[in-house]
Amino acid sequence: MIKAISHLGVAVKNLKEAREFYRSVFGLESSEPIIGGGGTVRVSMVELENVTVELLEPVGSAGPINKFLEKRGEGIQHVCYEVDDINAEIGSLKAKGIEALGEPAPGAEGLSAFLHPKGTHGVLVELVQKE
Ligand code: CO
């Protein structure tokens, strides 16, 4: 069962500038950047009361964030929903004909998996089972 929005993934061209924008304009601090996505993305989290904003900057010329920036420019790249049991959720979605992009894998917040946007009305959906 989907319980809540866990985070919004926002693609940015320059993480340093984006973090400075969130700090100076919105008054929001963000976490020290870490490398994720198998080395293709640099990530920093802005924690709010009920949701987190995940700032995503591409590393190198490969990877999904780079592709997204080329196609669409900066903006919301994915929505992440929290679930209780990711394997059960993916199984039930697959039974409904929804395409998952790979198997659940460890990420910043726990086990996560993505759903192809063509099956979800255009939204790249991430599901996470928090640790
Ligand atoms: Co995410």
Residue type at 75?
Answer: G
Q: How far does the centroid of ligand 1 lie from the alpha carbon of residue 95, in Å?
A: 24
pLDDT exceeds 80 at position 108? no
CB atoms within 10 A of CB 57: 22
Query: Ligand 1 mean position to 7 CA, how many Å?
Result: 6
- Cα 16 to middle of ligand 1, angstroms: 19
Cα 123 to ligand 1 centre (Å): 13
Element housing 50 (H / E): none
Residue 4: pLDDT above 90?
yes
The predicted pLDDT at position 38 comes to 82
Q: Where are the domains of the chain?
A: 2-126
Question: What is the per-residue pLDDT for 36?
Answer: 86
pLDDT over 70, % of the chain:
100
The pLDDT, as a whole number, for residue 109 is: 83
Beta strand ranges found along 1-99 (DSSP E): 2-11, 34-36, 41-47, 52-58, 75-83
Q: Is 2-126 CATH 3.10.180.10?
A: yes
Residue type, 15: L
- Distance, CA of 12 to CA of 75 (rounded, Å): 7
How confident is the model over 9-53, as pLDDT tens digits?
A: 999 999 999 999 999 999 999 999 999 888 899 999 999 999 999
pTM of the full structure: 0.93
The residue among 130, 35, 122, 23 whose CA lies nearest residue 75 is 122
